[in-house]
Structure 1
Amino acid sequence: MAHIVVLGAGVGGMPAAYDLKKTLGEHEVTLVNSSEHFQFTPSNPWVTVGWRKPEQVMVPIRPNVERRGIRFVASAATKLEPEENRLTLADGTVLTYDYLVITTGPRLAFEEVPGLGPDQHSQSVCTTPHALHAAEAYQAFLKNPGPVVIGAVQGASCFGPAYEFALIVDADLRKRKLRDRVPMTLVTSEPYIGHMGLGGVGDSKGLLESEMRQRHIKWVTNAKVTAVTDSSVTAIEHNERGEELRTHELPSRFTMFIPAFKGVDVVASVPGLCNPRGFVLIDEYQRSTKYRNIFSAGVCVAIPPVEVTPVPTGAPKTGYMIESMVTAIVHNIDADLRGEPAEHKATWNAICLADMGDNGVAFVALPQIPPRNVTWAKRGKWVHLAKIAFEKYFIRKMKTGDTEPIYEKYVLGALGILRLKRPS
């Protein structure tokens, strides 16, 4: 009987554990995570403005996975020894494995910008605890409102939450009749609004610029953030050749930035496993290029940028892409156990339901890297409602262990993309 260890219980790890156990049956599956709870990260902007409570977007892992016959260990990994097929945890547990699936997500590289991060002068929505910390700061801000700066720093690869959070804050302030007291600026390393790390998707530039103008949100693109203080943000704007154009000194009473990502230390420290940023190097079958029994999916895998930009940007790993990676891993481990070659490959497509508080924009890029077979972007109230429905459905899946592909069957089906039709 083989032992498969899944390291990380996020939007890739939880479905991977469920699907591996369902597919492999008698083989042992162990899920390792530093915390007892799964966090539905896309809901974190709502947590910050008080539209969700943390317990609404977090799922206890242990009772749900153990009910499915999956062993769960709530402890951070401290040492990975691939040559010995061994993983050591902070609580002293030593796990040996036949296959390791790395789905850790990223390490948030706040240290790369002076003053960045929840322990210093900016907020984050990258984790639910961060969002809860930001919610406390937001409530204090509401008592004495003023300028707000939101964005994504140089090297960031996840731009959707920055746009979402800016537009959700705008909607929340309007509901509170405070918007007229809050100048807002979006600062981003993207070369233009709506680039998203994807080179744009359809008319994403026009759609998002229109929303920003309508909501009186100013922006600075091609920006490199050089300092964040408790009352300001310093950002250097660059031209299309990457040359410094001007320096912006932006006052801010509430600041939120998406940082650049790196690989988690325990994985990044393994020689030959990762690229210089600590992301796992994989082949077309999601398998480590050095260790044939290690697979990886999600934000922790190495994917090159879609294109070179004047200020560094990374390529996002969206939910649809992660789901596809996980499916490929499960099939390829199953094939290996049966003595058959790996054949399954992930379809690196991008789907984003970007909530704007009272409406939203849906983006679909098939494939993610241009040129594409499908490029699709639409705006409407229905996107806001679709994201709420998606949140409830995904959280329910994490409780029940349902392994049916949600993006392929439900999201694409609901949007009508499979038939290339506009949704009704």
Structure 2
Amino acid sequence: MAHIVILGAGLGGLPMAFEMKEQARQTDTVTVISNAPNFHFVPSNPWVAVDWRDRDEIELPIAPILAKKGIAFIPVGAQRVDPEHNKVLLDDGREVDYDYLVIATGPKLAFDEIEGLGPQGFTQSVCHVDHAEHAKDAWMKFVEEPGPIVVGAVQGASCFGPAYEYTMIMETDLRRRKIRDKVPMTYVTSEPYIGHLGLNGVGDSKSLMESIFRDKAIRWICNAKVTKVEQGQMYVTEHDDDGKPKKDHVLPFKYSMMLPAFKGIDAVFGIEGLVNPRGFVLIDEHQRNPRYPNVFAVGVCVAIAPTEPTPVPTGVPKTGFMIESMVTATAHNIRAMLDGFNPTQKATWNAVCLADFGDRGAAFIALPQIPPRNVNWFGEGYWVHLAKIAFEKYFIRKMKKGTSEPIYEKIVMQAMGIMKMKDH
């Protein structure tokens, strides 16, 4: 009999719980620990932030879903992981013992690394549904008295898709309101070029995104470090290809959304052998920590080295397809260890992304995510907008049912079919 604890109940944690329950033996116990009682579908946050979705449309209570599957749930945050003694210390003082631990917490949002950044400062965020609701309130005031927008991702950010997505969703919403002509838009990013995405680009992403930005009259600044944000203005230093300061910008704004850098959560930060200096969990090819072999990690909390050095630091995104494959590999590897065998399963680390632009969208497939690739494709069109809506409905339905059925493989097969039709 083993106790398998999953820390986190988001896009990685809940699927991990479902797959682990299926793989576990009848005598094993699976427990999920989360600092929140509800699951929310993070990819829909940009829609919430312009009032295209209500919070209750993308949020689900976790407890009844897990109870149906016989999975225990503790809705209390983790204060500290103690891998030396196989314990998780909770914020309420309790201790939870484990035989196997899967860390699936997602990141800590490092707004504090830049003065004035974030919802507690002067910029908005779409990283959490609470932030998205705050952004929506600010957006509704903004459209009454429009002005300049500054949007993008700061140095050290590792998830660029939502920044592009929210940029274009705002642009679409402004056109629908017939006030786009009153809103200059500037995209600020640590990426070395538009469409880099933390992945050294995918397919023709650079020229395609530059073309879209030109068509929509969106100015951009790359290789950018945000040094400080004040009420109504952002201080940005643009760097050259050698990483040397090139030009300082003071950008006025009436509304701003900037994605922050990510770090590991406080519960694991600084634990030698478990995490790297930024607090991301160190893993081997089987999702297992090298120092603590009964600790695994999946999702955004995992340490992945950048594909290449960039003039301004950029991280590597962990997209849904990659997370899905991490979850499956981890569940099978823990079962192998329960049966007395060594883990053998490896995540594929492929990447699929659907970014809605409000009336169109962009999609990329990178197989594998890190170059060189077997498939390296980027496309756009109205079909992506429809696919993103369908994906949202399907994933939320999947979570309600508590099923581990893979979804990204289906997306890849459908997209590959579209690619073949275009070729003909």
CA–CA separation in structure 1 for the residues paired with 2:15 and 2:423: 28
Residues 417, 225 of structure 1: alpha-carbon distance in 2 compared, 3 angstrom cutoff: farther
* Aligned CA distance change for structure 1 residues 211 and 203 (closer, same or farther; 3 Å): same
C-alpha separation between the residues in 2 aligned to 1:132 and 1:123? 10
Report what 1:54 is aligned to.
55
Q: Secondary structure at the match of 1:266?
A: coil
**One-letter code aligned to 2:39:** F
| Letter matched to residue 20 of structure 2 | L
Aligned equivalent of 1:230: 231
What is residue 278 of structure 1 aligned with on the other side? 279
- The 1-side partners of 2:386 and 2:221 are apart by 30
Could you say which residue in structure 2 is the equivalent of 1:112? Answer: 113
Give CA-to-partner distance per residue, 1:318-344, whole Å, 9 cap, x none: 000000000000000000001111100
**CA RMSD for the aligned pairs?**
1.3
C-alpha contact (below 8 Å) 2:3/2:29 kept by paired residues: yes
Contact 1:415 1:423 in 2 (8 A): no
SS class of match (2:300): coil
The answer to whether the Cα contact below 8 Å between 1:412 and 1:418 also exists between their aligned partners in 2 is no
Task: Give, in whole Å, the separation in 2 of the partners of 1:81 and 1:202.
Answer: 43
The 5 Å alignment of 1:295-334 reads 295-334=296-335
- Indicate the SS of the match to 1:186: strand
Alignment check: 8 A CA contact 2:270 2:277 kept: no
Which residue pairs with 2:39 in the alignment? 38
Is the 8 Å Cα contact of residues 80 and 266 (structure 2) preserved in structure 1? no
- Which amino acid is 1:414 matched to? Q
**What is the TM-score with the length of structure 2 in the denominator?**
0.98
Q: Is the 8 A contact 1:232 1:250 kept in 2?
A: yes
2:15 and 2:404 in contact (8 A); partners too = yes
Q: Which moved more, 1:385-394 or 1:207-216?
A: 207-216
CA displacement at 1:159 relative to structure 2: 0.4
CA pair 59-265 structure 1, distance change in 2 beyond 3 A: same
Q: Distance in 1 between matches of 2:219 and 2:144?
A: 23
* Contact kept in structure 2, 1:106 and 1:263, CA below 8 Å: yes
CA contact (8 A) 2:49 2:133 kept: yes
Distance in 2, matches of 1:288 and 1:420, equals 40
Contact 2:202 2:376 in 1 (8 A): yes
Contact 1:414 1:423 in 2 (8 A): no
Pairs aligned (count): 423
Q: Which amino acid aligns with 2:3?
A: H
Counterpart CA distance in 1 for 2:223 and 2:270 is: 32
Q: What does 1:50-89 align with in structure 2 at a 5 Å threshold?
A: 50-89=51-90
1:357 aligns with 2:355: no
Q: Corresponding residue for 2:18?
A: 18
The CA distance in 1 between the partners of 2:418 and 2:5, in whole Å, is 34
The alpha-carbon distance between structure 1 residues 248 and 106, as it changes in their structure 2 partners (threshold 3 A), is: same
Aligned partners of 1:72 and 1:94: how far apart in 2? Answer: 14
Partner of 1:7: 7
1:349 shift after superposition:
1.1
AA in 1 matched with 2:7: L
The 3-state SS of whatever aligns with 1:376 is: strand
1:287 maps to: 288
What amino acid does structure 2 have at the position aligned with 1:61?
A: I
5+ residue gaps, structure 1, are none
Structure 2 match to 1:385: 386
Q: Distance in 1 between matches of 2:42 and 2:82?
A: 30
Structure 1 residue aligned with 2:259: 258
Change (3 A) 1:417 1:24: farther
CA distance in 2, matches of 1:422, 1:224: 39
Distance 2:246 2:214 in 1: 23
SS in 2 for 1:209: helix
| Counterpart-to-counterpart distance in 2, 1:403 and 1:369 | 26
Counterpart CA distance in 2 for 1:282 and 1:335 is 17
Gaps of 5+ in 2: none
Q: What per-residue deviation string (whole Å, max 9, x for no partner) do you get for residues 30-52 of structure 1?
A: 00100111111110000000000
3-state SS of paired residue (2:191): coil
Deviations 1:356-413 (A, max 9, x none): 11101110111111111110111100000000000000011111011111111x2112
Question: Which amino acid in the other structure matches residue 240 of structure 2?
Answer: N
Q: Quick one: which amino acid aligns to residue 12 of structure 1?
A: G
Q: Deviations over 1:290-330 (max 9, x none)?
A: 10000000110100001111111011000000000000000
Report the Cα distance in structure 1 between the residues aligned to 2:420 and 2:264, rounded to whole angstroms.
37
Report the 3-state secondary structure (helix = DSSP H, G, I; strand = E; otherwise coil) of the residue aligned with 1:131: helix
Kindly provide the amino acid, as one letter, of the partner of residue 411 in structure 1. I
Q: Deviations over 1:216-254 (max 9, x none)?
A: 111000111111112011111111111111111111010
How far has the Cα of 1:270 moved from its partner? 2.1
Mapped to 2, the partners of 1:272 and 1:344 lie a distance apart of 22
In the TM superposition, what are the counterparts of 1:84-103 in structure 2 within 5 Å?
84-103=85-104
2-side partners of 1:268 and 1:22: how far apart? 31
Distance 1:420 1:105, change over 3 A: farther
SS at match of 1:267: coil
* Counterpart amino acid of residue 220 in structure 1: I
Give CA-to-partner distance per residue, 1:40-96, whole Å, 9 cap, x none. 111000000000001111111000111110000100001211111111111232210
Please say if 1:209 is aligned against 2:205: no
Q: Distance in 2 between matches of 1:333 and 1:162?
A: 36
Q: Percent identity?
A: 57
* 1:411 maps onto 2:385 in alignment: no
CA pair 233-23 structure 1, distance change in 2 beyond 3 A = same
